[in-house]
Amino acid sequence: MVRVYAALCVVGTAVPLYFLASFVSNEGVDVRALIDQMTETDIGLFAWTDVVVSALAVIAFAVYERSKGLTTWWIAVVATLTIGVSLGLPLLLLLRERASASATKPA
């Protein structure tokens, strides 16, 4: 699963950044245009509220994993807040998988 999670991290970074770059290319760094385009339709609002709630779930999951001993939990939080859930979730699962594999590896 490590390779799957790693591949999803790459895709989850590249695809959203492609569309962000396209927006910036067309509109410039225009926060008002960004907010207007995000909120001008019901489907846009649906998508953004889904992303925000999903981000909160990933952050809560990361904090929970911290309480279980995952020391790299914060990397997934930063990834979620900067790139998005599309990177944060697979990265958290990757970090969790690696920590689990190293914990069960004989010394």
pLDDT in tens, 67-94: 999 999 999 999 999 999 999 999 999 9
Quote the domain boundaries for residue 90: 2-104
Asked if pLDDT for residue 107 goes beyond 70, the answer is: no
| Higher-pLDDT residue of 38, 5 | 5
pLDDT at res. 51: 96
Asked if 13 and 89 touch (Cβ cutoff 8 Å), the reply is no
Question: What pTM was computed for the model?
Answer: 0.87
Q: What percentage of the chain exceeds 70 in pLDDT?
A: 97
Query: How many structural domains are present in the chain?
Result: 1
| Higher-pLDDT residue of 106, 4 | 4
Asked if pLDDT for residue 106 goes beyond 80, the answer is: no
Tell me the CA distances in angstroms from 44 to 40, 55, 65, one per residue in order.
Answer: 7, 16, 31
pLDDT at res. 103: 77
pLDDT band of 102, cuts 50, 70, 90: confident
